[in-house]
C-alpha cells in the first residue's frame, strides 16, 4: 500500500493545498494530511478548527485521513508506516528550502519526498497571506476552500 503523508500547519488550508492534495491522490492508495502542532507557534486557528476545515473539504474522499502530530515529521511518518512525504512547491525559494528538508529526511529515515508543482493559478497563495487578509477583514474567499469561508 502506498501511504503518503502531506504535512503542514494548514493555518488555514488554501486552494493551493487543496490542489496539491487532489493531485497527490492519484499517486497513492491513502493520503494522510498531517496537521502539525507546535505549542510555541501562534496559530490563527485552533488545531481542531484546522482539522475540521480539512475534513469538511474532503468529506467525500475516502482515501484521505486527517491526523495531528507534534515533533519531527519523519517520526510521524514512521509511526503511520508512510511510503513518502508530499510537498507542494510554489516557487524556487520553496524548492531550495524543501530540497534540504527532503535530503535530511531521507538521510535520517530513508523516507522519500514527492514534490508537486502548484499551478500558476495558485502559486501566489500562502496561508500567511490569507491570515493577513483575514486579520485586516479583507475578502479571502477566492483563496480558500468553502469550509474555511464559512468561519
pLDDT over 70, % of the chain:
99
* CATH number assigned to the domain comprising residue 122: 3.40.50.620
The residues that are catalytic are 17, 41, 90, 127
Residue 139 has pLDDT above 90, yes or no: yes
3-state secondary structure 79-96: HCCCCEEEEEECCHHHHH
Q: Residue 39's CB: how many other CB atoms inside 10 A?
A: 6
Average pLDDT over all residues of the chain: 95
Number of domains in the chain: 1
> What pLDDT is stored for residue 71 in this prediction?
94
Domain span at 130: 3-149
User: Considering only 12-21, 105-114, 141-150, which range has the smallest mean pLDDT?
Assistant: 141-150
pLDDT greater than 70 at residue 59: yes
pTM, two decimals, is: 0.94
d(CA 21, CA 71): 22
pLDDT for 79 equals 97
- Tell me what pLDDT residue 151 has: 65
Instruction: Please give the average per-residue pLDDT across 94-117, as a whole number.
Output: 95
Q: What is the mean pLDDT of residues 39-64?
A: 94
Amino acid at each position: 500500500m502506498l501511504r503518503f503523508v502531506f504535512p503542514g500547519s494548514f493555518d488555514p488550508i488554501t486552494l493551493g493545498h487543496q490542489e496539491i492534495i487532489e493531485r497527490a491522490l492519484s499517486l497513492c492508495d491513502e493520503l494522510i494530511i498531517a496537521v502539525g502542532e507546535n505549542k510555541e507557534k501562534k496559530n490563527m486557528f485552533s488545531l481542531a478548527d484546522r482539522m475540521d476545515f480539512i475534513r469538511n473539504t474532503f468529506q467525500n474522499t475516502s482515501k484521505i485521513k486527517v491526523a495531528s502530530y507534534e515533533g519531527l515529521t519523519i517520526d510521524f511518518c514512521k509511526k503511520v508506516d508512510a511510503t513518502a512525504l508530499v510537498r507542494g512547491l510554489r516557487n524556487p525559494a520553496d524548492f531550495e528550502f524543501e530540497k534540504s528538508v527532503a535530503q535530511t529526511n531521507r538521510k535520517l529515515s530513508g523516507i522519500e519526498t514527492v514534490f508537486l508543482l502548484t499551478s500558476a493559478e495558485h502559486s501566489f497563495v500562502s496561508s500567511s497571506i490569507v491570515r493577513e487578509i483575514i486579520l485586516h477583514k479583507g475578502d479571502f474567499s477566492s483563496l480558500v476552500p468553502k469550509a474555511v469561508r464559512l468561519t
